Amino acid sequence: MPDSPEQPHAPQHRRSTPKRRVLVTGATGYIGGRLAPRLIEAGFDVRVFVRSPDKLIGVPWAGDVEVAQGDLTDADSVRAALEGVDVLYYLAHAMAGKGAFEETEAEAARTVAAEAKAAGVSRIVYLGGLHPDGPLSPHLESRKRVGEILLASGVPTAALQAGVVIGSGSASFEMIRHLTDVLPYMPAPRWVRNWIQPIAVRDVLHYLIGSADVPADVNRAFDIGGPDVLRYGQMMNGYAVEAGLKQRPIAPLPVLTPWLASQWVNLVTPIPRSLAIPLVASLQYDCVVREHDIDEVVPKPEGGLTGYRRAVRLALGKMRDGEVETSWQDGSVDGAPSDPLPSDPDWSGHTVFTDDRSTDMKASPEQLWRVIEGIGGDNGWYSFPLAWAARGWMDRLVGGVGLRRGRRSPTSLRPGDALDWWRVESIERRNFLRLRAEMKVPGKAWLEMFVSDGPEGGAHYRQRAVFFPTGLSGRLYWFAILPFHGVIFSGMLNRISSAASKEPVERSAVSEQERRR
């Protein structure tokens, strides 16, 4: 039977021995969110270490793991999380970190290393970055340093070093995809001629799971990569072929410095500037596997490693089917959840502005909820598209996430999901959705949508925009956009009501009719 898309070859890792407990750090991230359920399937007893357990609400495998809360720089919380743990997966990175992120990452690694040694952990598995010798970008240097700290911990460590990871939702894949989709002609920096050895996410997961069982005396770094070595420009055109596009002419321009290139990536892709800078900086070097020693301790997947174009094809299939499991978008822009919105915004001691509107409709609450849960992404925001697009471009110009970030799934949301320039902060299905703005604004902003039964049947819909201004600039910002609220928010109210009335009354009944056709 062929493997399902992007899945590691789990049967090779099924365990008949008694369960061992593993701790996964970075479990709400792109790799960690995929690794945890596969470790469960492979027979491990899984504990995850997270700063915010709320980010696991709605995650399908959340009920099958033990959740430990804390921060990697806090020795007490790390110590408690490591109790009884046999294998530690270290997958936490400050990819979009600000300020002295290098020292923060090093401090976290030193804390974890010391506590893992004291707890009697038998194996650390770390995922770092593939890199050449010599000077490195700050983020690659930091990842290398973290690996060195873990290798010196006294706990046997397998430090896997991967380059560009190709899979639905990965930041590297999204950058390739959007650069190729948007630009028919590619003026590009010189690094498009650099050699890259990408690896499919399914193969990364295979090596991570297999590394739990390497011999006890193994304490070293391993390069991992797929079977293809390509120039970055070839990767973009390989994507174009799989996506049914014409191959793009690419002209390397020596004037595009890494900083300028990251601004360009920020403007034409959904990748925000804070993430584009480290991604582009890491592409300044040839990133090619120098040794294949991992094959001596972790056998290759059944059928071999996944080639680049097949990895692209699998990723596109996942996107087409709405089955993107995890995404680079899952991490908050500032790296931490915002403060929760008070239930009553008119609370004492804080200036707050609101736009509160409601309406009754003949559509049922279920019909209305399906529209609300499907908002954003390709479905748009049901009001004045030009105004939303203009605001998105303004945000991109100042380094924000903009409006093109899209959504993980076209039909369902869960806490922590990115939704264009919003983040799902809270969701109660059929009743309530709260979105927190991640655009660049002088304050904090939320959009809330409420669904309830109407007074005479049908549904009652209420939407509320809430803004906590910061200083004078925040207040001026609110009053500057106030004239547009009547157009944007009233139009949104009316169009959502209209869209709900067109939703099928019973989705299951419609599906049955479609099957009969």
- DSSP secondary structure string for all residues of 501-513: HHS-S-HHHHHHH
pLDDT of 85: 97
Contact 270, 178 (CB under 8 A): yes
Tens of pLDDT along 183-229? 776 666 777 788 899 999 999 999 999 999 999 999 999 999 999 99
Contacts of 502 (CB under 8 A, 6+ apart): none
Q: Burial, 343: exposed, middle or buried (Cβ in 10 Å; 0-12, 13-18, 19+)? A: exposed
Residue 52 CA to residue 110 CA, distance in Å, equals 22
Q: How does DSSP assign 346-399, residue by residue? A: S-TT---EEEEEEEEESS-HHHHHHHHHT-SGGG--SS-HHHHHHHHHHHHHTT
CATH superfamily, domain 353-508, is: START domain (3.30.530.20)
pLDDT of 1: 39
DSSP strand E in 110-151: where? 123-129
Residue whose tokens read 């700063």: 51
Residue 490 CA to residue 500 CA, distance in Å, equals 16
CA dihedral of residues 10, 13, 16, 17 (deg, nearest 10): -140
Domain at 10-330: CATH code: 3.40.50.720
pLDDT of 340: 38
Contacts of 23 (CB under 8 A, 6+ apart): 47, 48, 49, 68, 81, 82, 85, 87, 88, 89
Residue 133 CA to residue 193 CA, distance in Å, equals 19
pLDDT of 9: 53
pLDDT of 416: 83
Q: Which residues of the chain carry a pLDDT beneath 70?
A: 1-18, 94-100, 185-188, 252-259, 264, 266-268, 270, 273-274, 329-351, 385-404, 506-517
pLDDT of 395: 60
pLDDT of 338: 33
Contact 200, 228 (CB under 8 A): no
pLDDT of 145: 94
Query: Residue 450, SS3?
Result: strand
Domain boundaries, the chain: 10-330, 353-508
Tens of pLDDT along 72-114? 999 999 999 999 999 999 998 865 444 567 888 999 999 999 9
Among 83, 89, 86, which residue's Cα sits nearest to residue 68?
83
pLDDT of 186: 67
Looking at residue 350, its amino acid is H
Strands 230-231 and 195-196: antiparallel
Among 214, 93, 223, which residue's Cα sits nearest to residue 162?
223
